[in-house]
Amino acid sequence: MSDGKSLQGFSQGLSKGLGPGGPLLSVEGVTKHYGARLGCADVSFDLWPGEVMGIVGESGSGKSTLLGCLSGQLAPDAGRVLYEMKDGLTDTAALGEGARRRLMRTDWAFVHQNPRDGLRMGVSAGGNVGERLMGTGAQHYGRIRGAALDWLGRVEIAADRIDDRPSAFSGGMQQRLQIARTLVTGPRLVFMDEPTGGLDVSVQARLLDLLRGLVREMGLSVIIVTHDLAVVRLLADRLMVMQGGHVVEQGLTDQVLDDPQHAYTQLLVASVLQA
Ligand SMILES: Nc1ncnc2c1ncn2[C@@H]1O[C@H](COP(=O)(O)OP(=O)(O)OP(=O)(O)O)[C@@H](O)[C@H]1O
């Protein structure tokens, strides 16, 4: 069965039919265990087009598990992740393999904490960006190279580095290249896992600035996991705070950070203020 057919039959059966104007992603009761250990429990929220949702919490609170479940890399034990497709909100778990791969190549993107997980280290910088475009059907060499050059410029990598391999780049440059590779296809939804983690503070600040500009300019919807409250303060419209696999507080970022209600959030905010 072709991707198109499997998608069509699938969404006829499963879509909620909310159509345009509704959420881009709807998460319902997502729960994941590793044997007896809880990863995340009963997480529900809607993500709206153009919205940036931050997920914060200390190490082991379940952020990566939740991000894995949302992005289709982990199968939840319970709950559903619905994504707005042609025929309405569609259960991503029921997508055929081909349709899921196509979604990951076009509409969705993932920025990994370690750029090596998102780049092909043996391929040139231009090749890394062009390759993702080719995955969406682009074939014209001149146009692909032009788009790669354009994107290198947008992430502040000099044009004369286009034929260099990422292994010759600094950590910050590698992360910017990963972002170029991720965004060149114009995704609607971007998952980010600690995108500024492991970088020097000054490099982080520059990267955050760049990310903020691109997110706003492209009107991206983003789900970003971080343990760094400064990152969500700058990027996220809304915030979810996780502890022990549970969402203990959620709301508008400024509201949550300026007037935290849950004792754990109060502790998180206080620990940053003391640092
Ligand atoms: N592959 C796995 N096998 C067993 N337990 C796991 C596995 N991955 C995560 N866990 C457990 O699930 C819980 C949530 O972990 P998770 O990695 O999602 O937290 P996190 O908030 O992303 O942490 P970090 O910030 O350190 O990445 C933890 O108790 C962790 O030990």
Query: Domain limits of the chain?
Result: 3-107+187-274, 119-186
Contact yes or no for 120/129 (Cβ under 8 A):
no
Tokens of 237: 């419209």
Positions in the chain short of pLDDT 50: 1-19
Q: Is the ipTM of this complex over 0.85?
A: yes
In the block, tokens 């072709």 appear at 2
Contact yes or no for 88/19 (Cβ under 8 A):
yes
Name residue 53's beta-bridge partners.
Answer: 223, 238
Residue 170 has a CB neighbour count (10 Å cut-off) of 11
Tokens of 185: 């296809």
- Pocket residue to mutate for ligand 1, from 31, 33, 43, 64, most atoms within 8 A of Cβ: 64
In the block, tokens 């022990």 appear at 244
- Pocket residue to mutate for ligand 1, from 38, 61, 117, 264, most atoms within 8 A of Cβ: 61
pLDDT at 13: 33
In the block, tokens 């286009």 appear at 162
Q: State the closest ligand 1 atom to the C-alpha of 61, by its place in the atom list counted from 1.
A: 21
Ligand 1 atom 2: residue of nearest CA: 34
Tokens of 39: 């990863």
Query: What amino acid occupies position 57?
Result: G
- Pocket residue to mutate for ligand 1, from 58, 63, 117, most atoms within 8 A of Cβ: 63
pLDDT at 138: 76
In the block, tokens 């993702």 appear at 132
Ligand 1 atom 31: residue of nearest CA: 60
Contact yes or no for 29/44 (Cβ under 8 A):
yes
Ligand 1 atom 14: residue of nearest CA: 62
Residues in contact with ligand 1 by the CB-under-6-Å rule are 34, 37, 39, 57, 59-65, 227
pLDDT at 27: 98
In the block, tokens 């699938």 appear at 10
DSSP state of 221: E
Tokens of 6: 């499997």
pLDDT at 20: 56
pLDDT at 12: 34
When the candidates are 3.40.50.300, 3.90.1200.10, 3.40.50.1370, 2.60.120.10, the CATH number that belongs to 3-107+187-274 is 3.40.50.300
CA angle 18, 24, 26 (to 5 degrees): 75
In the block, tokens 């909100």 appear at 89
Contact yes or no for 118/177 (Cβ under 8 A):
no
